[in-house]
Amino acid sequence: MVERLSNFPGFIEGIAGMELGVKIFQQAQSEGAQFTMARLKKLQPVDGVFHGMDVNGQVHIATTTIIATGRVPIRLPSEKANLKGVNFCSVCDGPLYRNQNATLAVVGSDNSAAQHAITLARIADRVFLIYRSAETKMDSAHAAQLAGQKNIEILGETEVIGYKGLDIIEALKVRSRSGETHEIPVDGVFLAIGWRPNTKILDVDLKKTPDGYLKTDVTLMTSFSGLFAAGDVRDTDLWQVLTACADGARAAKSAAEHIAKITTT
């Protein structure tokens, strides 16, 4: 979740990601859209239609489907299962450290990592931004914002190789470019080391990229007839809210045309 979008048309001062989401949701409702608030466990084709089973065991049936499940963050290979203090969303979990004189770390070097660090700098006493590459992958605007934060310390060419702590994280184990290892005491860490497409629920054979993103044609239909994809889950070269919205419009139009076609033949 993004604290504030600065590259969405129409909002000169930016807009909070959650606020934009609520506005889009309300606008869709006002146009007659109906929402079933259920988390899907599996989606599969059955006898020419799609069956989506939710976590409560209820099956939702549709003649066509648009997959817009986005991406999920990648975890560190060394990450301990269920260790408290390992986070992915600074907007959601950052406030938990407010008024605690906390020392927090962000692992990553792109715009998402920069946004995490800037958000956390307003909450924590000290923030480490750690990445293993020699240079960052963020744009100049984010780099400039980081430079203006006195309580953010940047540690480049530094790799996080493990965590210290039994139930709650106590420190990061890191290795510098020279090969030396040491520990950095922290109260929490926020990961921004990359993403993978969120396709776990799909029980259908589809064409994908080597990284697992869904391949689509010009109508945004996947390799399975009647199954469309929109947004970050599909093969694209630009992961932005604006392009995801455009995908949604095209996929919806294509899905409606597909339904009309199969119902008249």
Residue 265, amino acid = T
How wide is the angle at C-alpha 173 spanned by C-alphas 172 and 174, nearest 5°? 110
- pLDDT band at residue 81 using 50, 70 and 90 as cut-offs: low
* Whole-number Å distance between alpha carbons of 252 and 258: 10
Tokens encoding 17? 């990601």
Q: Domain span at residue 46?
A: 36-72+200-263
With H, G, I as helix, E, B as strand and everything else as coil, classify residue 85.
coil
Is it the case that residue 2 has pLDDT exceeding 70?
Answer: no
- Judge if 85 and 180 occupy the same domain: yes
How many structural domains does the chain have? 3
Question: Is a pLDDT exceeding 90 seen at residue 6?
Answer: no
**pLDDT at residue 1 tops 60:** no
- List, for residues 190-228, the tens digit of each pLDDT value: 999 988 999 999 999 999 999 999 999 999 999 999 999
Same domain, 83 and 189: yes
**CATH classification of the domain holding 114:** 3.50.50.60
Q: Is 2 left (phi over 0), alpha (psi -120 to 50) or beta?
A: beta
**Which residue among 165, 193, 221 closes a domain?**
193
Same domain, yes or no, for 2 and 25? yes
**Residues 51, 81: one domain?**
no
> Do 185 and 254 lie in a common domain?
no
Q: Write out pLDDT tens, residues 109-139.
A: 998 899 999 999 999 999 999 999 999 999 8
- What's the rounded mean pLDDT across residues 217-244? 95
Query: How confident is residue 78, by pLDDT bands cut at 50, 70 and 90?
Result: low
Of 134, 163, 193, the domain-final residue: 193
pLDDT tens by residue, 139-192? 898 899 999 899 999 999 999 999 999 889 999 999 999 999 999 999 999 999
Query: Which of 23, 26, 85, 34 shows the shortest CA–CA distance to 62?
Result: 34
Do 88 and 144 fall into the same domain? yes
- Stretch 239-245: mean pLDDT: 91
Mean of the per-residue pLDDT values of the chain: 92
Say whether both 87 and 184 belong to one domain: yes
